[in-house]
Structure 1
Amino acid sequence: MTKPPLTIYLAAPRGFCAGVDRAIKIVEMALSKWGAPVYVRHEIVHNKYVVDDLKAKGAIFVEELSDCPDDRPVIFSAHGVPKSVPQAAQAREMIFVDATCPLVSKVHIEAQRHAENGLQMIMIGHAGHPETIGTMGQLPEGEVLLVETVEDVAKVEVRDPSKLAFVTQTTLSVDDTTDIVAALQARFPAIVGPHKEDICYATTNRQEAVKAMAPKAEAMLVVGAPNSSNSRRLVEVGSRAGCAYSQLVQRASDIDWRALGDIKTLGITAGASAPEVLIEEVIQAFEDRFDVTRELVETAVENVEFKVPRVLREPA
């Protein structure tokens, strides 16, 4: 039986960003340097496949520092942690390695600098997301106020409208954030913004690739985890950019074949913490059912690389 034809548009860039790449490398190098087990506070990145792979190598994932013994190294996830966490690790004389993405650390430094200048902070982000918790935890309680929507901007109560600054979670939708920033500037004309956009280059690049791909595709699949903010934003961007069916899948086994029906064109991308092996697994599932032609939709070339912390580059 001949297979029906299917054109797969493959977004580029997609998948791992430099911050995720570095965080995974940090866990692997820590295991190599200190042996197993190495403890990791919170999922190192939001992807079950990656986390399970590191567990198999000897990493133990916990939610709090109190779950870690004093005598084993602990790694802080790529999303960043409140300032109190490394302080507690230091007080316990633990070996710890901070895998916070350097672009998230940049936002932390920004928040600190604004606070030193006497400004109260407004953070654009998602409540409960580890990155938001980490950034808000850089300053004392009440110094960082969270807004998630344009509606929140109208309700937020500030100490002094003339002494405000804002920062942004790095994995948000570029378009949504633009509207929230505009609302902040309209209500608080004196508000100080970041020197350079807080939304990271990888988030922006992946969203731009989806915008270029979505109008051509009858359906789009984003390979990523349900707790991955940047993956969920890609699904939303796909829908808004004109793709009638835009869905998140963790693995090939999540594909809803009935919903896809007899499509002729499909877009595939992946969130910043999804490994290429999972993207290939999804493509293979389509190649089993369709006569697939692959077409790359490339909107940017990424060559960013972040160094791992010095403690891991030094011999044990």
Structure 2
Amino acid sequence: MTEKPMPPLKIYLAAPRGFCAGVDRAIKIVEMALEKWGAPVYVRHEIVHNKYVVDELRDKGAIFVEELDECPLDRPVIFSAHGVPKSVPEAAAARQMLYVDATCPLVSKVHIEAERHHANGLQMVMIGHAGHPETIGTMGQLPPGEVLLVETPADVAGLSPRDAGRLAYITQTTLSVDDTLEIVQALNARFPDIIGPHKEDICYATTNRQEAVKAVAPKVDALLVIGAPNSSNSRRLVEVGARAGCAYSQLVQRAVEIDWRALDGITALGITAGASAPQVLIDEVIDAFRTRYDVTVEVVETAQENVEFKVPRVLRESAA
């Protein structure tokens, strides 16, 4: 009996996708710390929002904790790529702990911006998601009450600043470019004197991945975004796909999570990955489709990335 031929499927692979320079650097920091100081090395919060990456580092000797007081004083501690409130390194220094800050340099840039505006007597408005580690870290750079959080254009109407003429705004680096623009327009309409960043706070990687999804979405019946449910930039990619005309978008961490019934009958599929998803998971998902479909892959590239961030000097110095 002849085997039934597999249905054809065209996969449009978004580029750029997956790891960004900040994630790459953060993972490298944990690996180099383990090489330099041996296991265990403690990491405050998930180094990046990806279970596969966290589990791999855990297997190598990293111990993930939520708070500093869960770390022994005699082992190194690393702060995650999302950034931490100023109180965290201050507490680590007070306890004479050896700590390494893996905050993404583009997040640190927003921290510096907030401090500069604060020094000039301005109150900050932060566009971000409440409870996200990056938002907590950025708001924690300044004293309580100095940063007002807005999540939607509607939130702008409810703001009660100290002085409407002395405001500046900053944003979380992993937001939807389009949603943020709407909030910025609402801020400018209500506070005409508000000062914005010289250059968009949303990072290059977030912007590039969203642009690639916009290019893929009109071509496909469904979009798969490989990323973690707690990854802000991955969740934004699902939203961007839906908004750009893709009828069905799905967020999956691994191939085992794919909802095959929802994809029944598709002939064209878009695949992308959030900035903390490694290439191995993208390959795993494509391989899963090859077992069910006669797959052809076309890369849709909208930008090229060649950004690289140095790791902190303490890790570049030899152990001696």
TM-score (norm 2): 0.98
Distance 1:133 1:267 in 2: 33
Find the residue that maps to 1:301 and give its secondary structure: coil
2:155 to 144, 152, 155: 152
1:238 aligns with 2:241: yes
- 2:211 matches 1:204: no
Q: 1:83 maps to which residue?
A: 86
**What is the rounded CA distance, in whole Å, between the counterparts of 2:189 and 2:200 in structure 1?**
18
Answering whether residue 254 of structure 2 is matched by residue 251 of structure 1, we say yes
What amino acid maps onto 1:204 in structure 2? T
Q: 2: distance between equivalents of 1:113 and 1:30? A: 31
- 2: CA distance between counterparts of 1:78 and 1:20? 7
Alignment pair present for 1:69 and 2:69: no
Shift, 1:188, TM fit: 0.4
Shift of 1:315: 1.1
1:2 Cα offset (Å): 1.1
Give the Å deviation of 1:23: 0.1
1:269 correspondence with 2:272: yes
Out of 25, 40, 46, the residue aligned to residue 28 of structure 2 is 25
How far residue 103 of structure 1 moved from its aligned partner, in angstroms, is 0.1
Residue type of the alignment partner of 1:169 = Q
User: For 1:115-163, what per-residue CA distance to the aligned partner results, in whole angstroms no more than 9, with x for missing partners?
Assistant: 0000000000000000000000000000000000000000011000010
Deviations 1:167-196 (A, max 9, x none): 000000000000000000000001000011
Tell me the equivalent position of 1:36.
Answer: 39
2:191 paired residue number: 188
State the secondary structure of the residue aligned to 1:121. strand
- Deviation of residue 58 (structure 1)? 0.0
Q: Which amino acid aligns with 1:248?
A: L
Counterpart-to-counterpart distance in 2, 1:173 and 1:69: 38
Provide the residue aligned with 2:298 in structure 1: 295
CA distance in 1, matches of 2:79, 2:140: 14
Amino acid at match of 1:76: F
User: Alpha carbon RMSD of aligned pairs, Å?
Assistant: 0.3
Q: Counterpart of 1:182 in 2: which secondary structure?
A: helix
Q: Alignment identity in percent?
A: 81
**What is residue 111 of structure 1 aligned with on the other side?**
114
The aligned amino acid for 2:305 is E
Q: How does 1:103-182 map to 2 (within 5 A)?
A: 103-182=106-185
Secondary structure in 2 aligned to 1:256? coil
Give 3-state SS (helix, strand or coil) of 1:293's partner: strand
Which contiguous aligned blocks of 4+ residues in structure 1 show a shift greater than 4 angstroms? none
The whole-number CA distance in structure 1 between the counterparts of 2:145 and 2:318 is 42
Give, in angstroms, the shift of residue 262 of structure 1.
1.5
